[in-house]
Chain A
Amino acid sequence: MLFGLLILLSCQFIGELIVRYFELPFPSPVVGMVLLLTALIVNKGVPSGVRQASEGLLSYLALLFVPAGVGLMVHYQLIAKDGLTILTALILSTAITLLVTGGMLNKLVKKKQVEDGLHD
């Protein structure tokens, strides 16, 4: 468990160094995630400590969003001003995104299944 936590934090730390050094426009934990994924592929498996730490953290993922979410209270003026715009954008854009992604993937998967069927 402690070993897993050390691995996760080390990946994030190296990610931070890479982002700072190359002045990348990406968040450092994302670079850390890519590093860990690469390491897991090279290692051909997930060490049990890493799995334990990851699953532990991810099972409390929802709680971890709360402190930042409470920050909405700081933006009440912006929300009061742009509230209708924000809500419209969230609902419409989410619907369009679901429509495009679902429709497209459905077609692509069916097409691939037909192709694979012909090659078999």
Chain B
Amino acid sequence: MASEDEVSEFLSQNREAAAWVEAVRGECESDKMWRYRREFILRNLSDFCGPRLPPLHSNDRALDRVLAYSMVWSNHVFTGCRYPQPVMEKVLEMAGNLKVKDAPVHTCRDDLVSKVKKRGIASNNEGGLEEPSKKIKPIEEMKVADSSSTKIQEPPRHETQVSSDRDSGDLNPCTSATQRTDTNLGNCETSQSSQPVSTTDSKPAKSPAVAKSEPIAPQEKIALVEIRQETSTKSTLQSPIKPPRKLTVEDTKERQAFFNRLYKAVAWKLVSAGGFSQSLNHTELLNSCIESLKASLDIAFVPLKELADLPQNKTSQENMVCELRCKAVYLGMGCGKSKDNAKAVASREAIKLFLKKKVVVRICKRKYSGRDVEDLVLLDEESRSVNLPPALKNPQDLL
């Protein structure tokens, strides 16, 4: 909020500017929204309109552009709108380190709908819009940088600082965070992630987003700095971070053999245990079977409230989610009051799979932190469409 004080100080010293900026306030903007947007406008005004305040109501194009960007930013932060990527990039750049601590949380229409339909939805930006922005960006960025230091005496920005800001935004992407600390890039990501996974041309541009959302902290910052530099030198195409690996049939075939063996092992184990029953220790059973095949059971836990895709009111007291994987293949998920509970439920679900005629490894789309990713999933042969819960770990990391 330090910068906000600066703004009010600046305005109290500069009556003319204060009156001027009040005139562009939206009629029905709340005080909070306006405070932030006012700062956004003041910061960027001189870049667009020169050092002097443009006359009001003159349909000055430069001024209108600033206003438009301020609205884009405000709509994005406060109302949850997403704009085409080039617009988003530009606006977030203009916002600089203007941070909103307590922005409301919204669910976007695409997320809402795709949550219902459980499938990837392309947002309809055609990608053709990216070129013009790329041309302009470096210049604009410089302008932003020096304007912000001249106009309102804000601390000079460093690349690292910005990137760490973004970093914190990462951990709380727009849809899942109950409270956002930073809206800068966390949102940018989610807007990117609504793009189709399948279209090939949009992929390179998307790679930073995918890489960033990995919850590995230490390398993260370095990667981010790199990305940052890239975007400024507009060479997103040669990203050092590998693009998401496309899962192929080979991946499933590779693993199918193992799971066939596991199927047999579990079946035998069950027979020796006197058949499936609720009273069995499913975790132990599963684990011993997997270990007998020289593999290991990967168990991941996440508190339920961090999985934004799940209905929160339903299971308020069940607060741990457990995901079981083996050889990067998803076996099952469970939810319980404690980790042990969740694990037991998850392994029971997994064992149930092995009661069916045959198990197969398939590539399925599922959610991971609000976007669709491909994942390897162990399924009953006969099941057709499955509603998979969102993944706890990024399947891409596990490969």
| Same assembly | no
